[in-house]
Every structure is written in structure tokens, then in C-alpha cells.
Amino acid sequence: MKAIELRNKYLKFFEKHGHKIIPSSPLVPENDPSVLFTTAGMQPLIPYLLGETHPAGKRLTDYQKCLRTDDIEDVGDTGHLTYFEMMGNWSLGDYFKEESIKMSYEFLTTELNIPVERIFVTCFEGDNDCPRDIEAAKVWEKCGIAPERIFFFGKKENWWGPAGTHGPCGPDTEIFYDTGKEKCCKTCNPSCGCGKYLEIWNNVFMQYNKTVDGKYEELKQKNVDTGLGLERATMILQGKNNVFEIEIFKPILEELEKFSSNHDMKSFRIILDHLRASIMLVQDGVRPGNIEQGYILRRLLRRTIRHFKKIGIDIVNLEKIVDNYIDILGELYPELTENKVKIKNVIEEEKNKFIKTLANGEREFNKALVKAQNSNENIIDGQVVFNLYETYGFPPEITSELAKEQGFEVDLNKFNELYKQHQEKSRAGAEQKFKGRFSRKE
């Protein structure tokens, strides 16, 4: 089953169960300056989860474009993505645990034909604040999940929220797929990170309000918030070992392999992830820059370009690869095809800006590396990192990555200190200019 088929099947299933399909919100939140990007399916719906009336009603479903960079260093393995799509269904004070779990179970086993014995679930084990979620576990048993495939864990694994220090929160039940791999140990279970159990769906039951003094009170409006990852679910349904083998990525991976002189799978995956994320950000109006969303886009694109160079792909091929990538992604997001020229122009312009920077920065970095090696040191001085940034516009993240590849570390604490001093001097200089401009007698 292709990703587009899975998405359509999901939306139609929940529409059949009385949910209204709502459009995906942009990657840059429209009315929430506290975050740079939309990081979860529920984020655009927070006002309605807090009690506002949604114009489409109490049962909603959608797919949501999401972007997270908190684990960007993990991109390159089999499953981490910065950009991903989250499918979700919500109850705003309508149904609760039983109906939510039953619909999830029906979709997985009837619509997707996933064998029941491959499904494992986790529930909240309870603590001094809130009781054990026996209700959710009993519903799973009624559906057909054997008790030995139901596990209980604490707040770290099976609890959502509140978003801040207080507010709506509650237990969740997470659904895992057994990949069939051997257990890593006798106690291996869905909380293990060995890869045997893959989380595919999370149903959050917002039934409590955490007060400012830390107490948990039952909410009058109890909500359900779920999230099913499109790429990961597609991978499972296609029997692939990693997300980069599905049709969204595979043709571009093959293209990279054809052009490359150095088959480094981690670099391939970084390019696949970062380039897709960049295309989606540009589509949603973000432009490369030195602050906030623009800095993240610039970082993604510049890291992409460096990995092109690392695996020996001539950078002139970037335009062709972006062109083909947009064609593939256009099946899921038709707006990309409509804006193809604009997206390509933005990426090409950033590439041209960075080519010279990359060459100069790598040359100076290599000098610093030789100096550190001759001194029998395994760390690159923060002053070097700052000089590369200030003189050549070389991002500290790329300096860190280059160093790591050579078995070195960088003194980022010193870099941050020097950068802060640089900002303070720049600010003081600007203030002096401003002061002088208006103190002169005209």
C-alpha cells in the first residue's frame, strides 16, 4: 500500500465514523509565536482541546504536516525524520476511551489487515497523582489483545501534558507493531529501544487538569487526541526495514546512488530527509536566513549540500534531484507541483551562496585539524569555531559534524561565550551609532 492510499483510507475510515475531514495547517504556526514549527497533529487544535467550539464539530480527522529538529543528529538511521506527516482523529468532548480504542483496533486489523498477534499495547500504570488505567486495558482485551501483550508504564512512557506547567493532560495508550525480530533479552518489551517493537499509533486521553499548585482534577470536557505516523505505517505495510525504502524516498535514493562516488548510507538518508523538509518549508513560505525558521531552513539546506560533497555528487545535480523530488512528493502535496519553479529557485540561490563558504570553511577547518593533531589534542578550540563562523559564515553545526567525522570534538561552550560577546559588542555599537545620529546639531 502506497502512502497516499494509506492516508486516503485513514481519512475515509474516520469520515465513515462521523468525523469531519479538516485541512492540514501550515508548518509555521499562524497564531503561536512560542514555537517555530508545527511539531504535532494536535498543535493547531489546542484552543479547541481547551474548550473552544470547532466550526466542523466534535469529531475531526486530518493529516498534519509536522517538523521537529530536536533530534536532528539522529537523522541518518533507519527511522528518524525531521519532516513527517501525522494522521490524526479527535474527539472534542464526544467519545472517549472505549470508542477510540475500538476504532483504532478496527482500522489496524480490518482496514490494514495487520495480524492481531503483531499488535502490542501500553497503558498508564498509575502513580500517586492518578490511578492505573485499567479501563483502557480492559477495552483492549475486549477487542482481542491478549493480556500478555498489554504492558503498563509510568508517566515517562504513557502520559501526555500538560503543554506548560499546568493545564489539560492525561494518560495515553500506545500501539506497537512487532517487527518479528528476535528479543534482545528476556525482559524485552515495547519500552525497549532495540527495534523489535515499533510504535505506530498513540491515543491520548485528556481527562485531567493539572492545577497551578500541582493537583490533578477531572476535566468536564474530556478529549481524545490520536496520532498515526504516515511514513512509519507505510513502511510496515510494505514490509520494509526502514522508512527510506518506501516510494516517497526510494527513487531519489536510487538517483543519489547513481550519481555518488562514495556510497555512504547515512549521508544518503540525511540528504533525503533534509531536502524533503526544505522543500516543504519553502512551500509554506519560509526563506533561508540567520534567525528562527529561516535559520533552520538554511541549516537543513547547507547540511544537504555538504553531504552531496561528502559522497562525491557534483552539486550541479542538485537542481535535477529537487525537480524529481517535487514530482514524487506532488502526489501527496499537489501544491508543490504548482510552485515548483519558486521552490527550485530558492534552493538554488541558497546553494550558490554556500558553495564558496563551504570550500573556504573546509580549508580553514583542515588547518585547525592538523594543528590539533600535531598538538595531540582531540578537541577543536572554540575560537576556531567562532572564526570560521564570523569570517566565512561557516555554521558551528557543520564544524561540529566535520570534527566528529574525524574523531574530534569542538569546544562549543567557548564558541557560545565568544558569540555572546560578539552580539553584545554589535548591540553596543549599534546603540552608539543611533545615539550619535540624533545628538548632532543639524
Question: The domain that contains 29 carries what CATH number?
Answer: 3.30.930.10
| pLDDT value, residue 427 | 65
Candidates 313, 308, 305, 304; CA nearest to 261 is 313
pLDDT of residue 431: 54
Enter the DSSP assignment of 148.
Answer: G
Among 171, 206, 241, residue at a domain's last position? 241
* Residue 442, domain member (yes or no): no
C-alpha distances (whole Å) from 161 to each of 152, 230, 271 are: 18, 23, 33
313 is a domain residue: yes
Classify residue 427: in a domain, yes or no. Answer: no
Three-class SS state of 358: helix
* Domain limits for position 357: 249-415
User: What is the identity of the amino acid at 268?
Assistant: F
Residue 273 placed within a domain: yes
Could you tell me the CA-to-CA distances from 72 to 130, 173, 243, 272 in Å, in that order?
34, 26, 16, 13
Report DSSP state, residue 199: E
Between the alpha carbon of residue 441 and those of residues 120, 436, 437, the distances in Å are 78, 10, 9
Dist. CA 235–CA 378, nearest whole Å: 40
pTM for this predicted structure? 0.86
Give DSSP secondary structure letters for 310-351.
HTT--GGGHHHHHHHHHHHHTTT-HHHHHTHHHHHHHHHHHH
If asked whether residues 371 and 231 sit together in one domain, one would say no
User: Going by C-beta distance under 8 Å and a sequence separation of 6 or more, which residues neighbour residue 165?
Assistant: 210, 212
> What residues in the chain have per-residue pLDDT under 50?
433-434, 436-442
Instruction: Read off the DSSP letter of residue 118.
Output: G
- For the stretch 120-171, pLDDT in tens is 999 999 999 999 999 999 999 999 999 999 999 999 999 988 866 788 899 9
Domain identity same for 295 and 206: no
By CB atoms closer than 10 A (0-12, 13-18, 19+), residue 436 is exposed
Q: Does 207 reside within a domain?
A: yes
- If DSSP states are collapsed to H, E and C, what string results for 376-410? CCCEECHHHHHHHHHHHCCCHHHHHHHHHHCCCEE
Task: Select from 241, 269, 293 the last residue of a domain.
Answer: 241
Give pLDDT, residue 420.
Answer: 86
pLDDT of residue 442: 37
What's the structural domain count of the chain?
2
Question: Within this chain, do residues 147 and 294 fall inside the same structural domain, yes or no?
Answer: no
Question: Does a structural domain hold residue 439?
Answer: no
Whether 217 and 315 map to the same domain: the answer is: no
Verify that 132 and 218 share a domain, yes or no: yes
Three-state DSSP class for 68? Answer: coil
Q: Is 429 inside a domain boundary? A: no
**Cα distance between residue 189 and residue 184, in whole Å:** 9
| pLDDT in the model for residue 432 | 57
